[in-house]
């Protein structure tokens, strides 16, 4: 049997790579989207950093300064992070470690459901069919941006451990259940809350010896307590609970379970008709397996009712009376409990048919669940120079990055915080602490007043990092006024696009040489020493019409040798044409070796081999032969 388990584990590892392709070829740069994955990369990195630098202050994360327990504004995912510690110790980057966690989450979900199906049926093929369904159910791909939801393996493992214990209720087996319970809670707080209710209800069917199980579970809860108390703290301190209307928005309806075209991603719960039919068939083909059928039906019912959220009594009761449930934004995620139950029924159905047909069921699930090609967002893995400088800077105090709370910048600030681990005022999550709201409001006043610097000094924020490419004229005018008054001091400029990154201190220091910074404050470009560029058109998620036109800018002190456009996550490379652009004359004057900074490409039809739903990434080769990649954008061809 151990050989079969090893074979199953290898199969699900391989399928995880194939079903998410080409993620495995872009481990150091790919994410599902430039948003929530950046939060999760930051969380997993902070877990690693804090464990070895400030283990007694794990939840005092370096975002949302000066808020308390900032890690508790989101899932802490420590159970995933600690499995990545060996990779981080040998130098694997935060983005690459995160993507390995994505692949491992798919593989582990499949393997855990395989173990459950195998235990119920003693059939290898039935376990594989159950594992394929559970690992690659559409819900899992909908949540590609949430690594903690891809890690669904501990839920079926709870049942595996409970059934294992019920066969021979020893203290050792109870400890195994406690370990699984602990890892489930450390991995995903949703699964802790949902799984605890489902497994408690399952005890009424299994009726195991309670004492060893209770002791093991209480021990697990004691170990979980330090990871749960901060959530209670921030809930009371900042009023972090979900309003009922928000919960209602992300509560499923019965139709969401049988439709594949639901607009709201959180409510895309349809598991596929094959899964529904195979689950129903179990009540006919395996009707003698009463206890497994009862457990499966129980989990399906709990998950279905829970997913209805505010539309049904079950989750509303939990929302009103059970601690923790008021922080749940999307009750539709209860669907994970239903999928565990369905995987059990799929295993029972598969084991009940002729052996020569059992593998056909597994293959059918693989074929019907195979996703459409995934467009991965390819970010620039290396942090801009200013973040490298911040890592070793001796300035005490926190950093404010401007602009604040605009576009996706807050997500990017969290990603880049993995480089320096300094406290930053910025941050993004499902909750916003009052200090962030206050500073953001001050930074968006027209005109910006002196109160912003006063507030930054009060909270011990010593540095202001200004991203010149994105700040408004009002921000530049505020910087000029505060600099002239000696209330802030200019530290230095760093290379970043056309206008650079600029660092100021709130300590009131002055500088004698202001020539470069005055150019920036006047809205003028300044010369850097790095190759850079920008894709001006199309915009992200652009739906192209008729003739496709792509255009952007590329500059380098050493000149631009060529610019290429990469499609389908780099699978297809097509050249762009370099042309002059009088509108960029001010910048060209700073880079005389780049007389043709505009790159263009026009297509009368979609190039052969390029998918209709694709992405485009710009590759710049400068005069020295060095390669610079810009973040890609998703586009749709006509």
Which two tokens mark 317? 């009761």
Determine the pLDDT at residue 604.
87
Co-location of 213 and 319 in the same domain: yes
CB 56, CB 168: distance < 8 Å: no
Which two tokens mark 48? 């690693």
Co-location of 156 and 297 in the same domain: yes
Determine the pLDDT at residue 11.
98
CB 30, CB 376: distance < 8 Å: yes
Is 58 contained in some domain? no
Co-location of 490 and 572 in the same domain: no
Q: Which residue has the tokens 């696009």?
A: 497
The number of C-alpha atoms within 13 Å of 579 and in the hemisphere containing its C-beta is: 12
Is 63 contained in some domain? no
Is 615 contained in some domain? yes
Determine the pLDDT at residue 577.
97
Which two tokens mark 434? 């009052």
Co-location of 365 and 462 in the same domain: no
How is residue 267 annotated by DSSP? G
Q: End of a domain among 521, 543, 572?
A: 521
Which two tokens mark 405? 């709370």
Rounded CA separation 465/425 (Å): 11
Co-location of 210 and 328 in the same domain: yes
H or E stretch covering 265: none
Rounded CA separation 301/338 (Å): 7
Rounded CA separation 328/445 (Å): 33
Co-location of 292 and 226 in the same domain: yes
Is 24 contained in some domain? yes
Q: End of a domain among 340, 369, 398?
A: 369
Co-location of 350 and 436 in the same domain: no
Reference 26, options 370, 374, 366; nearest CA is: 374
* Helix and strand numbers, DSSP H then E, in the chain: 24, 16
Co-location of 286 and 197 in the same domain: yes
Determine the pLDDT at residue 546.
74
Co-location of 554 and 573 in the same domain: yes
Rounded CA separation 40/27 (Å): 15
Reference 110, options 164, 152, 159, 145; nearest CA is: 152
- Spatial strand order of the sheet with 461-467 comes to 398-402, 461-467, 501-505, 489-494
622: domain CATH number is 2.60.40.10
Residue 594, preceding bond cis, omega within 30 degrees? Answer: no
Co-location of 459 and 604 in the same domain: no
Can you tell me whether residue 303 is helix, strand or coil? helix
CB 165, CB 176: distance < 8 Å: yes
Co-location of 543 and 577 in the same domain: yes
Q: Which domain holds residue 204?
A: 2-31+75-369
Domain count, the chain: 3
Is 37 contained in some domain? no
CB 307, CB 269: distance < 8 Å: yes
Q: What is the 3-state secondary structure (H, E, C) of 435-459?
A: HHHHHHHHHCCCCCCCHHHHHHHHC
Is 325 contained in some domain? yes
Condensed to tens digits (0 to 9), the pLDDT of residues 246-291 reads: 999 999 999 999 999 999 999 999 999 999 999 999 999 999 999 9
Within 8 A by CB and 6+ apart from 597, the residues are 553, 554, 555, 560, 578, 580, 581, 584, 587, 588, 591
Indicate the pTM of the whole model.
0.96
- Spatial strand order of the sheet with 577-579 comes to 532-537, 548-555, 598-603, 577-579
Q: End of a domain among 369, 393, 417?
A: 369
CB 77, CB 190: distance < 8 Å: no
pLDDT beneath 50, residues of the chain: none
Condensed to tens digits (0 to 9), the pLDDT of residues 51-98 reads: 999 999 999 999 999 999 999 999 999 999 999 999 999 999 999 999
| Alpha carbon 291 to chain centroid, angstroms | 38
Rounded CA separation 524/473 (Å): 11
Q: What is the DSSP string of 463-529?
A: EEEEETTT--HHHHHHHHHHHHTTSSEEEEEE--TTT-EEEEETT----S--HHHHHHHTT-----S
* Rounded alpha-carbon distances, angstroms, from residue 319 to 135, 197, 256, 540: 29, 13, 21, 38
Co-location of 262 and 114 in the same domain: yes
Is 47 contained in some domain? no
Is 50 contained in some domain? no
Determine the pLDDT at residue 507.
86
Determine the pLDDT at residue 393.
83
């Amino acid at each position: 049997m151990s050989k079969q388990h090893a074979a199953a584990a290898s199969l699900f590892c391989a399928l995880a790579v194939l079903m998410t392709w080409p993620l495995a070829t872009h481990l150091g740069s790919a994410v599902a989207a430039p948003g929530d994955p950046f939060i999760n990369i930051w969380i997993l990195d902070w877990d690693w950093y804090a464990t070895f630098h400030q283990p007694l202050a794990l939840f005092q994360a370096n975002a949302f300064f000066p808020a308390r327990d900032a890690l508790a504004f989101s899932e802490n995912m420590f159970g995933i992070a600690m499995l990545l510690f060996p990779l981080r110790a040998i130098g694997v980057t935060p983005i690459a470690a995160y993507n390995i966690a994505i692949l491992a989450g798919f593989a582990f979900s499949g393997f855990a459901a395989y173990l459950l199906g195998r235990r119920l049926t003693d059939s290898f093929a039935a376990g594989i069919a159950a594992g394929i369904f559970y690992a690659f159910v559409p819900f899992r791909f909908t949540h590609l941006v949430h690594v903690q939801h891809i890690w669904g393996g501990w839920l079926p493992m709870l049942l595996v451990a409970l059934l294992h214990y019920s066969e021979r209720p020893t203290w050792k087996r109870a400890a195994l259940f406690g370990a699984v319970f602990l890892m489930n809670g450390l991995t995903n707080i949703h699964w802790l809350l949902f799984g605890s209710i489902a497994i408690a209800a399952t005890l009424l069917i299994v009726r195991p010896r309670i004492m060893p199980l209770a002791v093991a579970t209480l021990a697990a809860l004691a170990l979980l307590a330090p990871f749960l108390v901060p959530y209670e703290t921030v809930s009371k301190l900042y009023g972090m609970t979900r309003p009922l209307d928000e919960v209602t928005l992300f509560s499923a309806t019965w139709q969401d379970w049988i439709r594949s075209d639901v607009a709201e991603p959180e409510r895309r719960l349809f598991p596929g008709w094959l899964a529904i039919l195979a689950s129903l068939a179990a009540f006919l083909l395996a009707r003698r397996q009463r206890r497994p059928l009862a457990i499966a039906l129980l989990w399906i019912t709990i998950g279905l009712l829970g997913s209805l959220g505010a539309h049904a009594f079950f989750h509303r009761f939990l929302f009103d009376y059970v601690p923790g449930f008021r922080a749940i934004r999307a009750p539709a995620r209860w669907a994970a409990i239903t999928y565990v139950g369905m995987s059990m029924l799929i295993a029972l159905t598969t084991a009940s048919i002729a052996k020569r047909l059992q593998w056909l069921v597994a293959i059918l699930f693989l074929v019907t669940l195979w996703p459409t090609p995934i467009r991965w967002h390819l970010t620039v893995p290396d942090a801009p120079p200013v973040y490298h400088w911040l890592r070793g800077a001796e300035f005490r105090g926190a950093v404010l990055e401007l602009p604040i709370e605009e576009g996706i910048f807050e997500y990017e600030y969290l990603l880049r915080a993995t480089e320096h681990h300094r406290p930053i005022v910025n941050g993004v999550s499902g909750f916003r602490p009052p200090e962030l709201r206050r500073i953001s409001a001050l930074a968006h006043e027209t005109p910006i007043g002196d109160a912003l610097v006063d507030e930054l000094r009060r909270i011990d924020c010593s540095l202001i990092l200004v991203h010149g490419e994105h700040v408004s004229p009002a921000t530049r005018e505020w910087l000029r006024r505060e600099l002239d008054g000696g209330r802030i001091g200019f530290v230095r400029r760093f290379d970043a696009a056309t206008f650079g990154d600029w660092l100021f201190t709130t300590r009131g220091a002055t500088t004698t040489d202001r020539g470069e910074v005055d150019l920036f404050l006047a809205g003028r470009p300044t010369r850097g020493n790095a190759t850079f560029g920008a894709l001006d058109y199309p915009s992200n998620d652009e739906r192209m019409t008729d003739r496709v036109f792509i255009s952007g800018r590329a500059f380098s002190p050493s000149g631009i040798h060529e610019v290429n456009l990469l499609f389908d996550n780099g699978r297809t490379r097509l050249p762009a044409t370099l042309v002059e652009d009088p509108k960029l004359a001010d910048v060209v004057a700073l880079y005389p070796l780049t007389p043709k900074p505009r790159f263009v490409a026009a297509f009368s039809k979609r190039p052969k081999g390029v998918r209709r739903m694709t992405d485009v990434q710009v590759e710049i080769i400068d005069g020295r032969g060095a390669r610079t990649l810009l973040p890609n954008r998703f586009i749709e061809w006509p």
